[in-house]
């Protein structure tokens, strides 16, 4: 049976993962409307991945005899001040999610819920990858500078492919 404090933290994470999915969908729609097909494709894939993360939390809570309540999600922004600033937002958001995952780890330790502590380690590792991916994209954007984004847009999915193969 799931500890109530742990359950509360996990259910709160359902909202964060769902919002992440919606945020990346909004970013993808913006990029696609600007003709950046590669960037949009990368962000659509991220949105799908975040939705799967949300489902993992839902399944786990319910499997442990808790009750995963599906919240409403805050509306994400619809306009972004350029690709670099958008990916800076991606990194900032992933750092926020990492902190939230770490807070869950602490609740698990405080409540001596070692089963959930073990389960949440997958997300700890995932967040390391998510932040590294966002940083790698920002590094490439810094190399591009204010120049053409054409090659970056074309090649961004190869960056995602190497991150996915590490899973």
Cα–Cα separations (whole angstroms), residue 105 to 2, 12, 100, 166: 14, 13, 9, 23
| Residue 63 marked as a ligand binder | no
| C-alpha 122, offset from chain centre | 13
Q: Is 32 annotated as a binding residue?
A: no
- Is 94 annotated to bind a ligand? Reply is yes
Which residues carry a binding-site annotation? 17, 50, 53, 94, 127
Which residues carry a binding-site annotation for Fe cation? 17, 50, 53, 94, 127
């Amino acid at each position: 049976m799931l500890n109530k404090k742990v359950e509360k933290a996990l259910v709160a994470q359902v909202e964060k993962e769902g919002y992440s999915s919606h945020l990346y969908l909004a970013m993808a729609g913006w990029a696609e409307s600007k003709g950046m097909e590669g960037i949009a494709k990368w962000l659509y894939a991220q949105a799908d991945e975040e939705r799967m993360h949300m489902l993992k939390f839902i399944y786990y809570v319910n499997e442990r005899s808790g009750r995963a309540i599906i919240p409403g999600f805050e509306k994400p922004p619809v306009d972004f001040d350029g690709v670099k600033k958008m990916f800076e937002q991606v990194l900032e958001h992933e750092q926020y999610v990492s902190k939230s995952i770490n807070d869950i780890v602490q609740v698990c330790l405080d409540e001596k819920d070692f089963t959930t502590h073990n389960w949440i380690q997958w997300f700890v590792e995932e967040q390391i990858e998510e932040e590294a991916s966002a940083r790698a994209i920002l590094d490439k954007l810094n190399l591009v500078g204010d120049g053409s984004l054409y090659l970056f847009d074309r090649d961004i999915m190869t960056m995602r492919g190497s991150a996915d193969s590490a899973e």
